[in-house]
Amino acid sequence: MIAVGIDVGKSFLDVAVYGEQKVQRFKNTSGGVERLVKGLKKHKQVRIVLEATGGYEESVLEACAKAGLWIARINPRQGRDFSRATGQLAKTDHLDARMLAEMAAVFHGRLRQHTPAMPWQTELKGWLRRRRQVTDAIIGTRQQMTMALPVIRALMRKTLAALQRELAVVDAAMKQLLQVHATPAVRSAKGLGPVFQATTLALLPELGQLSRQQIAKLVGVAPLNRDSGQSQGKRKIYGGRAQMRVALYMATLSAVRWDPVLRSHYVQLRARGKVAKVALVACMRKLLGIVNARRREELRGCGEISCVV
């Protein structure tokens, strides 16, 4: 088995093979990615690990997956924790590539292989990213208007109007994709609006293929133990997919008001003395479990899975 680590940058890809000192560098362009994949395909069994870098890794990730190569994307925090555990405190592109190659050799059995996204999922992810950018710009502009001079405020109103028009265009494009690809499972409860549906379809393709405990941990709403010896720490949520968790949180806020099942669950938890935030996270976990179970039934009906994971 050949273990490969790829340190991804805006302009370059530094590629290391476990056990070798030499680190190769490719341009992070279509041509550079093509040459990299061509070289990796010469090996019979390859395990590749790279870090999420805000989107710069997407081209090489998808190219390797589509070429049939085993590749996994990890959170940068995992990479730094592994590096520190090995005693490697310095950080350079070459050192990071070698560290990822070592991680691929040691931990590939514990990492999730990346599955290439469908074209419509890639497009939906792009619209979601742009929607978040436009929404942040709108919020920032509104906050800045309160402190601006009158003449500047007039200019900012024009900017705000342009951003709102763009947001309408983005929402319309997302709505068209959802009309085709959103299944009843992701629309099966109150509170599951267009943003939740789009986020789920684009950023949580594992929905319906994992158990409720696994999907909760993947999103980051599972209570994690903090016990040692005779002491028992408080369970806390940690990690997971932040953008998906935010969408689930907003959906749950609506669901605990309007969905009878979630509302009853929330009221029971509060009656048992749970603080509001803890009760709300528990409702997030329950809502996610419901949607996951309904999606599993859909996949069963389509013959895409044969048993409960």
CB 48 within 8 A of CB 71: yes
Task: Provide the pLDDT for residue 263.
Answer: 95
Q: Where are the domains of the chain?
A: 2-110, 119-181, 195-302
Confidence (pTM): 0.85
Paired residues of 96 in beta bridges: none
Per the structure block, which two tokens stand in for 194?
């267009």
What pLDDT does 43 receive? 86
Among residues 51, 183, 90, the alpha carbon closest in space to that of 60 is found at: 51
- Tell me the pLDDT tens digit for each residue of 83-105: 999 998 899 999 999 999 999 99
| Listed residue (219, 216, 237, 235) closest to 289, CA to CA | 216
Assigned CATH for 2-110: 3.30.420.40
Residue 306's pLDDT band (cuts 50, 70, 90): very low
pLDDT, one tens digit per residue, over 2-43 is 999 999 999 999 999 999 999 999 999 999 999 999 999 988
Reported as a pLDDT band with limits 50, 70 and 90, residue 195 is very high
pLDDT value, residue 93: 93
Residue pLDDT, tens place only, 144-158: 999 999 999 999 999
What's the whole-number mean pLDDT along residues 273-284? 95
Q: What is the pLDDT of residue 210?
A: 92
Specify the pLDDT at position 55.
Answer: 86
